[in-house]
Amino acid sequence: MNNRSNDIDAAAEGTCKWLFHDKTYNSWAGRNQSLLWIRGKPGSGKSTLLRHALHNTGASHIGDRAFVLSFFFHGRGTELQRTPLGLFRSLLYQLLEHVPDALCDLVDTFQQRCEDLGKPDEKWQWNPSELQQFFKSSLPRVLESRPVWLYVDALDECGQQNAIELAQEFKSLIHGLQSTSAQFRICFTCRHFPILDFGSEHEICLEDKNQMDISTYVQTQLCTQTTMPPKIPRMITDHASGVFMWARLVIQRVLDLVREGYGWRRVEEDISSIPPDLNKLYQELVRSMDKSPASLRLVQWICFATRPLSLDELRWALIVSADCSLKSLQQCRNAEDFACDCDMMERRLRTLSRGLAEVVPSSNVRVVQFIHQSVKDFFVEEGLSSLDNSSKPAETQTAKADVVGIAHYQLSRTCVRYLKMEELAQSTTRDRSSLLFEFPLLGYVTTSWVSHTEQSETREVPQDDLLGYFGWPSEALMGLWVHFYNIVSPYSDKCPSNGTSMLHVVSRYQLIGLLRVILQRVDQDGTYIDGRDNSGRTPLSWAAGNGHVTVVKLLLDTGKADASAKDKLGRTPLWLAAEKCYAPIVKLLLDTGKADINAKDKNGRTQLIWGARKGYVAMVKLLLETGKADVNAKDNNGQTPLTWASRNGHTATVQLLLSSADAHGTDTDVNAKGIIGATLGLVATGYTCIAIAKKLLLSTAKVWISVKGRIDPTLLLVVCCVAVARAMLLLHTGEAGINTQGNNDRTPLSCATEKGHAAVAGAMLLVGCYAAVARAMLLLHTGEASINTQGNNDRTPLSWAAEKGHAAVVKLLLEMGKADVNGKDKSGQTPLWWAAEKGHTAVVQLLLETGKADVNAKDQIGHTPLLRAAWNGHTAVVQLLLDTGKADVNSKSVFGQTPLSRVSLRNYTPIVKLLLGTGKADINVKDNDGRTPLSKAAGGGSTAVVQLLLDTGEADIDVKDDNGRTPLSWAAGGGHTAVVELLLDIGKADVSVEDEDGRAPLSWAAERGNMAVVQLLLDTGKAHVNAEDADGRTPLSLADQNGHKAIANLLQLTPSSLASLIC
């Protein structure tokens, strides 16, 4: 899924470098939140450019703390490579690798589903929208500590509607962060269509920028043609009109003409005659193709295979066809057109495709694909029609059959033909690797023939003849397919059980035409309509579980399908339909009057229990309206529908269950206990929200809350950490100790304030009740609730609330008048320190308004609230602290760093302006390494900060740190061209000054390989090209040792170098 970027051609030598000097690109890169759309025609080099940007975006450009995410859509790749599901799975995986703490909710959900449903992919699948939401919710947590750069390629290759929606989502993500100091940048590539009128501030149209790149590419590809007139490369470049793919194809054509002995005039004439439009060029190549069935089959396989085929698979796919008369693989080998090995197949590929297809590495095999997505688009839209001069199988039967449907029809039948080869029926091999080695195409045909049949059916290509291909009513070939599937891909969720019949398949995959044929002949051929596979499932079970309404109706209309047949897991068709919330099917089954509405699966769960658990309101309502659903049915763990609905927070479902019980004159058992000893009240208080707790409290039954041996040390200490509902219910009982401390010495009040539950905190502070006392004893009035109780890390409730940004709770605690505003934890951090650290402006304001908060309080390493706010880029907080007039802007940490020296490294321009605006910040202050703010900013590539510091006129531009390095030395070593230029132009920095190792800025730049910086230093005329460092190394030798040939050549051509050579 993440290998696509490796398949993209690397930028040709000397191309794509313009991007990092482009005004629009740099404007985008210089904003904290910004979106860049690189748009262009098909084949204009968008993917190559983005790959270049991604691979060359190092710490010198974006800082060493930045986190880079990327995804390259691939319209010719696997499903995950061409869908939003793949995008968000990949992005979340990248985040999990580096910042797992930001995705705790994702991990929790994953673990819960694995526990409840089983293995992912086998038993359940992620939904793209929920993964999108996980990404969206995790982003602010990641951005609290580091900048994020997101690169997404080929948005158009995930489908028209998906592309539009994702582009809008990117825009929304950026817009949602604009009121923060978070640094999040998105760069995506896409064709001009389908995104129209996007209104992005930053857009680059590639055709307007890549003319020089195409020229460089053409020159490079034709460099061996020493006698070629200069006019020919110019013609190709000009006619390409910004499309690399056009240039690539024409270059190949030119080289072919040269090999065939044609002269340059003929070459010029040929170039002039080639259509400038890419599609017309493809059309011309198609016209020159051999119009044999092999060319058509090749294009069909590359276009529509469910995954790219290997060369070994393709040579078999081409020799077997839908109307193939060959009956054995040996006959295929003896056929005249059979490619006997992969080398021959590769040569055949080039001939048949006219260079439009290629072989590329993928995992441990080489697979076949088109040279570009635009080639596939061309064939789907018009090229296949040009190639297909044969009679179409379904053409006389329906006018709606199109080339895509027919292609899938052909591939489906080819797969079945391969399955029918004599050697397969005779095989006794059960080892997967041995089987696939012996029969290379078997893995593909086994897992894909059904998919091709489905695709063909949806395009209304009749499938009736498939029964003949399988020899139905015999199930022999079907049984062979099932046998092979269970060897080739036994863990696939599509793997059929042994005993699967043709009727099972057509019902499971909604092959309506075939189903009608089979049902018409069911009595004649002895086909049992309720036949079961080895998992106990009937055709009706498969149709109901997959939501196929028409299939269910057809089966039920026979009057022979058992609506209550249970599979081996105890699930009926009704149960399966209810589980997936297929309401129309549930209604169909209920209308038969034969479906068991209270049937239980192996876990004892009824349809109502499943519906309540999932929160399927419409489904629950439908089941309850029958008046037959048991609302108090218990599963094997003693959980009822109400239990599950409460536990999972489905308020509307709870209301439905309670209302239904009232309407039917029955009692809903709100005190039901399961075998684990938990009561409904405990489930509600432990897992759900106040709305549900309130509904349960208002019900007539008593809610139990006490379970022996379950809670230690008190139930309240646990519940107040999770939700308001828990604490409120417990406080209502009057049985919870409000100052009880747990094994981490934290009180309920401390936990509640950390989670931001103002209602809980208020209830504890104002109402806190004891066991035998009435519900309204005011503990604060009696002095029994300690507002400053500290845990084993010395943190108070106010400290926790301040860190989490819970302004309402902070306000409540402060209004009590007893909270210690300057109370320090074990690390010396005060509530104000925490609020400043996290950027909680409202909390900082509340603490400052008390007039008691120490704005200069230091933690154990000497960091003040101002330093922490500055370091994390919280501009509004910095402003608030400075506005007090008390914040010490020159306060040093134990490392000798002030707020200005810390923030200079991070390019937080607004904060630097604020600090300098006080007129008090020491611009030349040195930290423990002797580095000044200017040194830090120059080394970090913070161009805007360097400009600000130089503009003061007070910055010491040649100041040396403890290693003797100057700001210019740091900027040159980091490859920060713009900073070097500033220091030279404005500051007149000393180019020749050497550090403790005898190294000047030129030495550092030459070693790191930054040509632009080297050129700037040489242009001053003051850089010593032959200066040796303490180890005897010169800039020239360093460039040569590190493989920077262009720099070495440049240094050799300087006057001083030439002079030393002469001497």
Q: What would the DSSP string read from start to end of 619-646?
A: HHHHHHTTS-S-TT---TTS--HHHHHH
Distance of CA 614 to the CA centre of its chain: 26
Whether 555 contacts 533, CB under 8 Å: no
Last residue of some domain: 888, 909, 940?
888
Q: Does the structure show a pLDDT above 50 at 504?
A: yes
Pairing of strands 184-190, 148-153: parallel
pLDDT at 704: 34
Mean pLDDT of the chain: 84
Give the CA-trace dihedral at 303, 309, 313, 316, to 10 degrees: 0
- Residues 6 or more apart whose CB falls under 8 angstroms from that of 829 comprise 799, 837, 859
pLDDT tens-digit map of 728-754:
444 444 433 444 444 455 454 454 455
- Residues 6 or more apart whose CB falls under 8 angstroms from that of 816 comprise 765, 780, 787
Last residue of some domain: 254, 276, 298?
276
DSSP state at residue 310:
B
| Percent share of the chain, pLDDT over 70 | 84
Exposure string for 731-754, b = 16+ CB within 10 A, e = fewer: bbbbbbbbeebbeeebbbbbbbbb
Residues 232 and 325 both lie in one domain: no
pLDDT tens-digit map of 949-983:
999 999 999 999 999 999 999 999 988 988 999 99
- More confident site: 318 or 754: 318
Mean pLDDT of 840-863: 95
Domain hosting 96: range is 4-209
Q: What is the distance between the alpha carbons of residues 169 and 823, in angstroms, rounded to a whole number?
A: 43
Q: What is the distance between the alpha carbons of residues 257 and 278, in angstroms, rounded to a whole number?
A: 20
Is residue 398, in this structure, part of any structural domain at all? yes
Is residue 384, in this structure, part of any structural domain at all? yes
Mean pLDDT of 267-278: 94
Identify the burial level of 381 via C-beta atoms within 10 angstroms of its C-beta, where 0-12 means exposed, 13-18 middle and 19 or more buried.
exposed
Q: How many CA atoms lie within 13 A of 696 on its CB side?
A: 36
pLDDT tens-digit map of 780-837:
333 444 555 555 567 887 888 898 888 887 887 788 777 899 999 999 999 999 999 9
pLDDT at 665: 54
Rounded to 10 deg, the angle between the 977-985 and 967-974 helix axes is 150
Identify the burial level of 213 via C-beta atoms within 10 angstroms of its C-beta, where 0-12 means exposed, 13-18 middle and 19 or more buried.
buried
| Percent share of the chain, pLDDT over 90 | 62
Whether 936 contacts 906, CB under 8 Å: no
pLDDT tens-digit map of 709-730:
333 333 333 333 333 334 444 4
Pairing of strands 202-205, 184-190: unpaired
Q: Which of 307-316, 464-473, 658-667 has the lowest mean pLDDT?
A: 658-667
Residues 233 and 335 both lie in one domain: no
Residue 71, H or E segment: strand 67-72
Residues 248 and 392 both lie in one domain: no
Residues 194 and 236 both lie in one domain: no
Residue 752, H or E segment: helix 748-755
Confidence of residue 182 (pLDDT cuts 50, 70, 90): confident
Partner residues linked to 366 by β-bridges: 361
Whether 922 contacts 934, CB under 8 Å: no
Is residue 314, in this structure, part of any structural domain at all? yes
pLDDT tens-digit map of 755-767:
454 544 444 443 3
Q: Which two tokens stand for residue 45?
A: 């080099």
Residues 197 and 247 both lie in one domain: no
Whether 185 contacts 28, CB under 8 Å: yes
Of these ranges, 83-87, 290-294, 358-362, 1008-1012, the one predicted with the greatest mean pLDDT is 83-87
Residues 303 and 380 both lie in one domain: yes
Of these ranges, 12-16, 118-122, 479-483, 524-528, the one predicted with the greatest mean pLDDT is 479-483
Q: What is the distance between the alpha carbons of residues 239 and 281, in angstroms, rounded to a whole number?
A: 12
User: Looking at this protein, which amino acid is placed at residue 1037?
Assistant: S
- More confident site: 135 or 1061: 135
Cis peptide before 865 (omega within 30 of 0): no
Q: Does the structure show a pLDDT above 60 at 635?
A: yes
Q: What are phi and psi of 33, to 5 degrees?
A: -130, 120
pLDDT at 87: 96
Q: Does the structure show a pLDDT above 60 at 621?
A: yes
Distance of CA 937 to the CA centre of its chain: 33
Q: What are phi and psi of 29, to 5 degrees?
A: -65, -25
Q: Which two tokens stand for residue 844?
A: 């900082």
Identify the burial level of 603 via C-beta atoms within 10 angstroms of its C-beta, where 0-12 means exposed, 13-18 middle and 19 or more buried.
middle
Q: How far apart are the first and last CA of the chain?
A: 59
Q: What is the distance between the alpha carbons of residues 1041 and 1035, in angstroms, rounded to a whole number?
A: 10
Q: Does the structure show a pLDDT above 90 at 493?
A: no
Q: What is the distance between the alpha carbons of residues 904 and 926, in angstroms, rounded to a whole number?
A: 13
- Residues 6 or more apart whose CB falls under 8 angstroms from that of 765 comprise 749, 779, 780, 785, 787, 812, 816
pLDDT at 210: 95
Residues 40 and 18 both lie in one domain: yes
What is the 3-state secondary structure of 931-979? CCHHHHHHHCCCHHHHHHHHHCCCCCCCCCCCCCCCHHHHHHHHCCHHH
- Residues 6 or more apart whose CB falls under 8 angstroms from that of 946 comprise 934, 937, 938, 967, 971, 979, 982, 983
Residues 56 and 202 both lie in one domain: yes
pLDDT tens-digit map of 512-568:
999 999 998 876 766 789 999 999 999 999 999 999 999 999 999 999 999 999 999
Last residue of some domain: 438, 463, 488?
463
Q: Does the structure show a pLDDT above 50 at 191?
A: yes
Is residue 957, in this structure, part of any structural domain at all? no
Is residue 471, in this structure, part of any structural domain at all? no
* Helices and strands per DSSP (H, E), number in the chain: 60, 7
Residues 313 and 186 both lie in one domain: no
Helix (H, G, I), strand (E, B), or coil: what is residue 592?
Answer: coil
Confidence of residue 112 (pLDDT cuts 50, 70, 90): confident
Whether 698 contacts 668, CB under 8 Å: no
Pairing of strands 357-362, 365-370: antiparallel
Q: What is the distance between the alpha carbons of residues 357 and 359, in angstroms, rounded to a whole number?
A: 7
Give CA separation, 133 vs 120, 126, 386, 509, in Å.
19, 12, 44, 31
Rounded to 10 deg, the angle between the 690-698 and 724-733 helix axes is 30
Q: What is the distance between the alpha carbons of residues 723 and 688, in angstroms, rounded to a whole number?
A: 7
Q: Does the structure show a pLDDT above 90 at 698?
A: no
Q: What is the distance between the alpha carbons of residues 866 and 860, in angstroms, rounded to a whole number?
A: 15
Mean pLDDT of 462-473: 94
Residues 195 and 222 both lie in one domain: no
Q: Which CATH number is 31's domain given?
A: 3.40.50.300
Give CA separation, 1018 vs 18, 57, 576, 946, in Å.
22, 25, 76, 22
- Residues 6 or more apart whose CB falls under 8 angstroms from that of 180 comprise 33, 140, 143, 839
Q: Which CATH number is 844's domain given?
A: 1.25.40.20
Q: What is the distance between the alpha carbons of residues 721 and 727, in angstroms, rounded to a whole number?
A: 9
Q: Which of 16-30, 771-785, 889-903 has the lowest mean pLDDT?
A: 771-785
Q: Does the structure show a pLDDT above 60 at 100?
A: yes
Confidence of residue 703 (pLDDT cuts 50, 70, 90): very low
pLDDT at 1056: 55
pLDDT at 750: 54
Is residue 632, in this structure, part of any structural domain at all? no
- Our count of domains for the chain comes to 4
Cis peptide before 797 (omega within 30 of 0): no
Q: Which two tokens stand for residue 199?
A: 């209104």
Other Cβ atoms closer than 10 A to 854: 16
Q: Which two tokens stand for residue 1048?
A: 């070495």
Whether 209 contacts 178, CB under 8 Å: no
Give CA separation, 666 vs 301, 630, 678, 882, in Å.
62, 10, 23, 66
pLDDT at 907: 72
Whether 134 contacts 55, CB under 8 Å: no
Other Cβ atoms closer than 10 A to 166: 22
Mean pLDDT of 615-644: 91
Whether 540 contacts 565, CB under 8 Å: yes
Is residue 98, in this structure, part of any structural domain at all? yes
Residues 325 and 443 both lie in one domain: yes
Is residue 155, in this structure, part of any structural domain at all? yes
Confidence of residue 122 (pLDDT cuts 50, 70, 90): low
- More confident site: 854 or 56: 854
Whether 836 contacts 863, CB under 8 Å: no
pLDDT at 4: 64
Q: What is the distance between the alpha carbons of residues 564 and 571, in angstroms, rounded to a whole number?
A: 9
Cis peptide before 194 (omega within 30 of 0): yes
Q: Does the structure show a pLDDT above 80 at 355?
A: yes
Confidence of residue 152 (pLDDT cuts 50, 70, 90): very high
pLDDT at 664: 55
Residues 255 and 294 both lie in one domain: no
Mean pLDDT of 444-469: 95
Residue with tokens 């499938």: 463
Q: What is the distance between the alpha carbons of residues 603 and 635, in angstroms, rounded to a whole number?
A: 6
Nearest to 547 by CA among 587, 603, 493, 515: 587
Q: Which two tokens stand for residue 726?
A: 């828990």
